[in-house]
Amino acid sequence: MKSEHVIAYEAGYRAEPSERVSYDLTAFINTYTSLESAELLTSFFDPNSVPPLLVYPEQLGNKLHGTTEGIEASATWKVTNRWALSPGYSFLEMHLHTDSSSLDTTSVSDAQGSNPGHPSTTPISC
């Protein structure tokens, strides 16, 4: 196994136009290489187990790569000295791929499926 690598770019803006209102906006892009993959090895029967089992062994590799990009926004409104409202929004787009020599068929879908999706909106017609 090798170390996973990331090159990350981030730009943001933070402002506090008054004592009671502040907001943040950030955009980011990350490039990943040598991500962990689960490489399938040759399957075999284990005749010593009862009942005999078909074993599908896996070996960890570094055969995934990809990018993520997104934005994050948040604001804070101090309604009173003891009460504040802090809404936020986050959007993440993930694009992972296996190397051409990889036998991994599950890591990309598992990783991309582990993040919340952006809700789609359907226009309402009247």
Residue indicated by tokens 């990809």: 66
Q: Quick: pLDDT tens for 100-123.
A: 999 888 888 888 777 776 665 555
pLDDT band at 47 (very low <50, low <70, confident <90, very high): confident
Helix (H, G, I), strand (E, B) or coil at 31: strand
Q: 66: alpha, beta or left, given left = phi > 0 and alpha = psi -120 to 50?
A: left
Helix (H, G, I), strand (E, B) or coil at 112: helix
Q: Quick: pLDDT tens for 51-102.
A: 889 998 889 999 999 999 999 999 999 999 999 999 999 999 999 999 999 9
